[in-house]
A and B are shown apart, each in its own frame.
Chain A
Amino acid sequence: MEILIYGTINSIALALMALGFALVYGISRIPNFAHGAIYVVAGFITWTFLKVVGLGYFLSALIAILVTGILGALIYRFMLIRVRGMAISEIIASYAIGLAILEGLRWGGFKGMTYTLPVFIAGSVTLGGVPVDIHRLLLIGIGVAVIALLWLFTHYTRIGLALRGMAQDERAALMLGIDSDRMALLATAFGSMLAGLAAIVLLPLGNIVVEAGYNVLILAIAVCIVGGLGSWMGAVLAAFLIGFAQILTVVYLGSHYQMVVALLAIIFTLIMRPSGLFGRQKELEERV
């Protein structure tokens, strides 16, 4: 029972971490290596508005999500747009931005374990004899809602359809009057907002530290590679695969090997099926 409960929680957490990265890559083909940094920034913004300014939790979180969206858009508009299409330059530029943000935060004094967000609802319940804190149960609900809303957004809204069109064939989308740069900018903004949302949901379980940016990036990359780069549904499925594999590893081998699961998953996927377990490289509609 504990494997089922904590495996699901871990999988949803991984999916939340990776969705933004998968969305940006799926549409703009830019691997946003600043994803982890944006995640951490969202945590610190929420903390600032909640603990320093004194706003309510919901309002602080909303501001953080909006600000991270704007940050993502600015990163694309002023930096990534210039290197778009040059794969190595995209990686170097986005990684450098992420590095600058994270190390800038560290330099600015955002270090230590005192930056924390409260859980949405305190307390725990026992499910099938397994104690689970309520925040983790909420995490499952929020994660499922985000995945469902993302699906609805990309299938039933004008912008969502335009994003999918661009993901399927950028040239064809251009011929149909879709502004590819605008869509890529929107994708980066949405991806960043998803990173922000993930931070707000996941960080109350721990604390806000700069190092989380690097960890989240590694996990997001692992999930996206296993799922198939660009396919966000693949990312969700991969999150479940890695999430359950991690929990099984902890239960039967020990916590020491938990991180190895994600790294081994990257290596095996790249050797056995470089396009990802659930990615269909030639069926482009799968990307979004």
Chain B
Amino acid sequence: MRKAFVLVAPVVLFIFLFTVVPCALSQKPIIIGAPLSTAFLYGWDAERGIKLAVEEINAQGGVNVGGKKFPFKVEVIDTRDLEPGVPVSDALMAVEKLILEKKADFLIGGPVRSEAALAAMDLLGKYKRVSILTTGVLTPRYHARVEKEYDKLKYCFRIHGEAGQLVKEIMACFKEIQEKFNLNKVFIMVQDVAHARGGGEILGKVAAKQGWTIDGTEVYPTGTTDFSMGLLKAKKAGSQILNIWMDMPESSILLKQWYELQIPALPFGSTLAAAEQPGFWKATEGKGEYTLCNVVNAGNAPSEATEWTMKFYDAYTKKWNIEPEGLGSSSSYMAVYTLKDAIERAGSIDSGKVVDALEKTDMMGVYGRIRFNPKNHQVIPALDPKEGAVGTILQWQAGKRVVVFPKSIAMGEIKLPPWMKH
């Protein structure tokens, strides 16, 4: 008996080591680290988008890596970088924790604030972790750094629009407004954070070159709750458009005050987190009607940009019991599918191979054709979803978010508030 045990035991052990253990290991998930400022719109909308995509992909069997299927697993960490004071060091610690403690294979999402994302690039380069930014970070410096320091920062991708592209879209929309309503005076209101300051500055220069009068620029610290003096300045100057770059929730206060003071200028948010959310109507008790805002990519408001747009929109609404809310919803969802596609084409989760595969990405997604510029890893934008990642500008009309730009996906026309009609 003992002799039989001595003979059988090694065989059993051999079988266990070489069959059962690898089998168990094959179930080891691919970990997606999501560094997000979860208490804020651009954090929680991205988290929901990522989790929805992961759930769908896992339900279909997971990711095919060289013939074996692996599930995705999401590890979310709160970076807090959208809080007043912009605690960049907290965000960096969060990113490092995801890589070292949570063993994240890839990062999707943030950091959300441009300052924090720029600072995190060196960490991503150091640990050679592929990251796809999906929310918040609009600074053109991000992809400019990738291009300049390609060998070190080639792991950094951004799958949503950036400030330069936003300005182009806004200017095209401004042109429509100019032609339709004969408006040509702009007052710029920006939050004191990198992407907003940068965006406001670029828009001011471009608009001035195109013949618009820039009546002034007002910079507000994060957390400001009183905008009345700035609004009065705009009114005094005779401004006709308020161009707003703010992602703080307090921006809804600005719109309430705009209504209460009946400022005769059309509010046009470039990033205006408050107005992106379906809850904006309730939060402003309808006072935010006529507010325009850019939600960066299609799918964050209802439209028929591609066949996938409303499928995503409905799935998100069903899963989270709320419509896609902010600029990070569709891009975060799409980033997971893009990563899946790249891993499957690479046949590996090796960072270098996945970078190569991501550079060759060409797929039709929720907001159009998804391709990255291989030199700077910025998603290629377009006004037509067949050509590239298409943006979306919506306007609040009678309690609904109506897509009004670009024309290729518009669901309605831009309207002026009654106190602006002469």
Which residues from chain A sit less than 8 Å from chain B, CB to CB? 2, 6, 10, 106, 111-116, 118-119, 122-124, 130-133, 135-136, 205-207, 209-212, 214-215, 247, 250-251, 254-256, 258-259
C-alpha gap A276/B15 in the complex (Å): 80
Q: Closest CB-CB distance, B78 to chain A, in whole Å?
A: 10
Closest chain B residue, CB of each to CB of A134: B260
Checking B84, B221, B224, B250 against A207 with a beta-carbon cut-off of 8 angstroms, the contacting residue is: B250
Q: Are A2 and B249 in contact (CB under 8 A)?
A: no
Q: Tell whether A211 pairs with B230 under 8 Å between CB atoms, given A255-B218, A258-B221.
A: no
Q: Tell whether A131 pairs with B285 under 8 Å between CB atoms, given A205-B226, A254-B218.
A: no
Q: Are A209 and B232 in contact (CB under 8 A)?
A: no
C-alpha gap A226/B229 in the complex (Å): 24
Q: Are A131 and B262 in contact (CB under 8 A)?
A: yes
Tell whether B422 is near chain A: CB-to-CB under 8 Å: no
Residues of the B chain whose Cβ atoms lie less than 8 Å from the Cβ of A255: 218-221, 224, 227, 229-230
Tell whether B257 is near chain A: CB-to-CB under 8 Å: yes
List, sorted by A's number, 18 A–B pairs whose CB atoms are closer than 8 Å: A6-B232, A10-B226, A111-B40, A112-B249, A113-B251, A113-B280, A114-B283, A116-B283, A132-B261, A207-B283, A209-B250, A210-B39, A215-B223, A247-B229, A255-B218, A255-B219, A255-B221, A256-B192
Residues of the B chain whose Cβ atoms lie less than 8 Å from the Cβ of A247: 229
Residues of the A chain whose Cβ atoms lie less than 8 Å from the Cβ of B233: 251
Q: Are B274 and A113 in contact (CB under 8 A)?
A: yes
Closest chain A residue, CB of each to CB of B83: A211
Apart from the given pairs A113-B273, A206-B250, 13 other A-B contacts in the complex at a CB distance below 8 Å: A113-B274, A116-B252, A116-B285, A205-B225, A205-B253, A205-B256, A205-B257, A206-B225, A211-B84, A255-B221, A256-B192, A256-B220, A256-B221
Q: Closest CB-CB distance, A211 to chain B, in whole Å?
A: 6
Closest chain B residue, CB of each to CB of A111: B39
Residues of the B chain whose Cβ atoms lie less than 8 Å from the Cβ of A212: 225
Q: Are A131 and B235 in contact (CB under 8 A)?
A: yes
Residues of the A chain whose Cβ atoms lie less than 8 Å from the Cβ of B192: 256
Q: Which of B41, B219, B249, B256 has the most CB of A within 10 A?
A: B249
Q: Closest CB-CB distance, A203 to chain B, in whole Å?
A: 9
Residues of the A chain whose Cβ atoms lie less than 8 Å from the Cβ of B279: 112-114
Q: Tell whether A206 pairs with B253 under 8 Å between CB atoms, given A114-B283, A133-B260, A215-B223.
A: yes
Tell whether B135 is near chain A: CB-to-CB under 8 Å: no
C-alpha gap A133/B274 in the complex (Å): 22
Interface of chain B residues 274 through 293 with chain A (CB within 8 A): 274, 277, 279-280, 282-285
Closest chain A residue, CB of each to CB of B219: A256
Closest chain B residue, CB of each to CB of A203: B225
Closest chain A residue, CB of each to CB of B229: A250
Q: Are A133 and B257 in contact (CB under 8 A)?
A: yes
Residues of the A chain whose Cβ atoms lie less than 8 Å from the Cβ of B274: 113
Q: Which 10 A-B pairs have the closest CB atoms?
A: A113-B249, A256-B219, A133-B260, A114-B279, A206-B253, A206-B225, A250-B229, A113-B252, A131-B261, A114-B283
C-alpha gap A132/B282 in the complex (Å): 23
Q: Closest CB-CB distance, A38 to chain B, in whole Å?
A: 18
Residues of the B chain whose Cβ atoms lie less than 8 Å from the Cβ of A116: 252, 282-285
Q: Are A124 and B261 in contact (CB under 8 A)?
A: yes
Closest chain A residue, CB of each to CB of B84: A211
Q: Tell whether A2 pairs with B232 under 8 Å between CB atoms, given A119-B260, A133-B257, A206-B253.
A: yes
User: How does the 8 Å CB contact mask read for B11-28 relative to A, with 1 for contact and 0 for none?
Assistant: 000000000000000000
Checking B39, B224, B235, B285 against A258 with a beta-carbon cut-off of 8 angstroms, the contacting residue is: B224
Closest chain B residue, CB of each to CB of A9: B228
Residues of the B chain whose Cβ atoms lie less than 8 Å from the Cβ of A130: 232
Interface of chain B residues 26 through 71 with chain A (CB within 8 A): 39-41
Residues of the A chain whose Cβ atoms lie less than 8 Å from the Cβ of B260: 119, 122-124, 133, 135
Residues of the B chain whose Cβ atoms lie less than 8 Å from the Cβ of A209: 249-250
Q: Are A207 and B285 in contact (CB under 8 A)?
A: no
Residues of the B chain whose Cβ atoms lie less than 8 Å from the Cβ of A123: 260
Q: Closest CB-CB distance, A126 to chain B, in whole Å?
A: 10
Residues of the B chain whose Cβ atoms lie less than 8 Å from the Cβ of A214: 84
Residues of the B chain whose Cβ atoms lie less than 8 Å from the Cβ of A111: 39-40
Q: Closest CB-CB distance, A123 to chain B, in whole Å?
A: 8
Closest chain B residue, CB of each to CB of A118: B285
Q: Are A133 and B261 in contact (CB under 8 A)?
A: yes
C-alpha gap A28/B230 in the complex (Å): 40
Q: Are B41 and A112 in contact (CB under 8 A)?
A: yes
User: How does the 8 Å CB contact mask read for B157-188 relative to A, with 1 for contact and 0 for none?
Assistant: 00000000000000000000000000000000
C-alpha gap A205/B218 in the complex (Å): 20
